[in-house]
Structure 1
Amino acid sequence: MLKVMLRSIYGICVATLLFTSGISTAQNYPSKTIRLILPFPAGNNYLIGQFLAEKLTEALGQPTIIESKAGGGGSVAIEMVAKSVPDGYTLLVTSPTLTISPIINSKFKINPLKDLIPIAIVGSIPNIFVVSPSSPVKNFKEFLEFAKLRPGQLTYGTGGIGSSNHFAVELLKITTGIDLLHIPYQSTTAALTNVIGGQIDLIIGGLPASVPLIKSGQLRPIAILTQQRSPLLPDVPTIAELGYPELVVDTWYGVLAPVGTKPEIIEKLHQEIIKITKSSDTKQRFAKAGIDPVNLNMQEFTIFLKNDYEKWLRVKNTAQLKFD
């Protein structure tokens, strides 16, 4: 009887110790510098990483710094974080690169849906379909008619083979039944330059980079790939209102941690990031930059990632895209 009582008391003590240890971990976190690992050294991912580092430093009282680990189309950064110590001090700030990388790279060693824990989506950038001002097409209907009469003749530029805007145009081709010729570039900026110059016919790219070029007359907007019109370009129709809601594609930016990170730390980071995205300062800064704040809970973010991965896998298989 005494042994049974002692075992019960011991069990209660252990459970209490583990519970209070979890609380203590969350309360003491962070106690040193947090690193945000980015897959690319420039672009929107870098800008959002900088912004988040600034805001987390203010909110958590410890330095938050960004580190670019470029290479492998983003796979180097993803693998580094997935294999890092799961203590909450090494986090990944990424984009659709996370769900596309395992689809285009057969040597990719990480399962992003199992090896990383989704914390929060910081925001998303709408994509816009643009052509040169010298193009004969003025709207989406005219574009489809023009393209169907010239299968395989119209060219589209991207930031590279397997990039998110490459997949976005392949989805457009599948959905509308048109055939376009892919011209990959080293960057989306280079592709935009060649659309302006008329060397290629079109591109789907991020809204912020296109807005000043549209307003200066260097690009012609055809459609924004969103559900709702953008206040930055209120006269440009959305792809959804044109009858193609399945072509709504944006570029999201989220934060993830390696699997094994304590739930208390994940929850604390989630709550702080959600506070940041809901703040008036963030809303104002994001609005000026053409970024939409996104507020998903962790379960919703997990489902979102699964759906994103499955969507791009279907595109790869349907379009019979080859990457290796």
Structure 2
Amino acid sequence: MKRVWAAAMLLAAFAAPAAADTPYPVKPVKLVLPFPTGATFVVGQMLAETLTRELGEAVVIENKSGAGGRIAMEHVARSQPDGYTLLLTSPTLTITPAINSNLRFDPLTDFAPIAKVSEVPNVFVVNPQKFGQMDFNALRKQITSDPGKFSYGSGGAGSSNHLAFEKFKALTNTDILHVPYQGASQAVTAAVGGQIDMVINGLPNSVPLIKGKQLKAMFVLTRERQPLLPDVPSAVEVGLPEMVITTWYGVLAPKGTPKAIVDKVAGAIERGLSAPKVRQKLADNGIDFAYSGPEAFSAFIKADYADWKKVVTEAAINIQN
């Protein structure tokens, strides 16, 4: 028995370095996107380009949209943990388990966090025909004095801008009607047309409408003012620091992916996106570089989930589908 044990230990000693020294990658890597358009596509495309350069193998985009991002998440969660299938994720990762317990996978435990890569600021906008002469303080007084009279739109029940507005309502003790749409762009169109009064939306897509006076910006959901809208106050300036809410993006691998691979991809992301030309290209699209490595990203995911779970519980939101 001792000889068998010794032989097994000797074999393990030789096998471990061999496994650790296995080169990666040696074939194309898939980067799965849950949404095929908007900032998700821009970030995904830039990640694929930079990782291809940094890793020396092709990183190709695979779109798996549908079910609010759940199709892409489940696909990657069930993929082989070998580093060849990665997921570009966003707040859908932490919002989904907060609003829906009827899932066939666990977004919080079935992945290996690799890196948080970027953030997109959001902005609180209103219909200018109704609120064009108001600043945020005047708007707040108006919606407080007329509970239930005004409405806001979202990209659907359980979407990030739905929960962001529910958080706003809780912080300001206001009663505003929720009108869900099939997507955020439809909600924005409804705000422009006056079918609804206000919406929280991504800054890059909102800037042209704001500058064209089709929407009026009340505040940006950031700590400081944004270069694209220098005259618009921040959430901190209007007295709502808890409303600092960005749409973040990060990269995940299936649970069980070797740490050596996770660290290698994380390092490649940091090097690639830190390049001045890449960061400028992100900025030109209204996207901020916001890197954090595996451990910090893992802690961020847990904290983000806790924040959204609190919002969901207080607003009694429950979506099972």
TM (norm. structure 2) is 0.94
CA distance in 1, matches of 2:179, 2:8: 67
CA distance in 1, matches of 2:101, 2:114: 26
Q: Is the 8 A contact 1:102 1:110 kept in 2?
A: no
SS in 1 for 2:112: strand
Give the aligned partner of residue 82 of structure 2.
87
Task: Report whether the alignment pairs 1:270 with 2:266.
Answer: yes
Give the aligned partner of residue 236 of structure 2.
240
CA distance in 1, matches of 2:204, 2:88: 19
Task: Report whether the alignment pairs 1:250 with 2:246.
Answer: yes
Which range moved further: 162-171 or 140-149?
A: 140-149
Give the aligned partner of residue 223 of structure 2.
227
2:317 maps to amino acid: L
Task: Report whether the alignment pairs 1:67 with 2:62.
Answer: yes
CA distance in 2, matches of 1:7, 1:83: 34
Q: Deviations over 1:76-120 (max 9, x none)?
A: 111110110000000110100111112222321222221101101
2:292 maps to amino acid: L
Q: Deviations over 1:256-297 (max 9, x none)?
A: 000111111000000000112211012111111111111212
1:279 pairs, out of 250, 275, 278, with 275
Q: Is the 8 A contact 2:95 2:158 kept in 1?
A: yes
Q: Give 1:217 shift.
A: 1.4
Q: Is the 8 A contact 2:50 2:273 kept in 1?
A: no
Q: Give 1:7 shift.
A: 6.4
1:122 maps to amino acid: V
CA distance in 2, matches of 1:83, 1:228: 40
Provide the identity percentage.
46
Q: Deviations over 1:215-255 (max 9, x none)?
A: 12111110000011111111111001222111110000110
2:16 pairs, out of 18, 27, 32, with 18
CA distance in 2, matches of 1:310, 1:15: 42
Q: Is the 8 A contact 2:31 2:88 kept in 1?
A: yes
Give the aligned partner of residue 36 of structure 1.
31
Give the aligned partner of residue 129 of structure 1.
124
Give the aligned partner of residue 151 of structure 1.
147
SS in 2 for 1:294: strand
CA distance in 2, matches of 1:229, 1:49: 26
RMSD value, Cα: 1.7
Task: Report whether the alignment pairs 1:50 with 2:48.
Answer: no
After the TM superposition, list the runs of 4 or more consecutive aligned residues in structure 1 that deviate by more than 2 angstroms.
6-17, 103-106, 135-138
Give the aligned partner of residue 163 of structure 1.
159
Long gaps (5+) in structure 1: none
Give the aligned partner of residue 305 of structure 1.
301
Q: Give 1:9 shift.
A: 8.4
CA distance in 2, matches of 1:170, 1:282: 35
Which range moved further: 273-282 or 161-170?
A: 273-282
CA distance in 1, matches of 2:19, 2:107: 29
Task: Report whether the alignment pairs 1:315 with 2:308.
Answer: no
CA distance in 1, matches of 2:114, 2:305: 17
Task: Report whether the alignment pairs 1:117 with 2:112.
Answer: yes
CA distance in 2, matches of 1:300, 1:281: 25
CA distance in 2, matches of 1:34, 1:206: 29
Indicate how the Cα distance of structure 1 residues 192 and 297 shifts in structure 2: closer, same or farther if over 3 A, else same: same
CA distance in 2, matches of 1:241, 1:20: 56
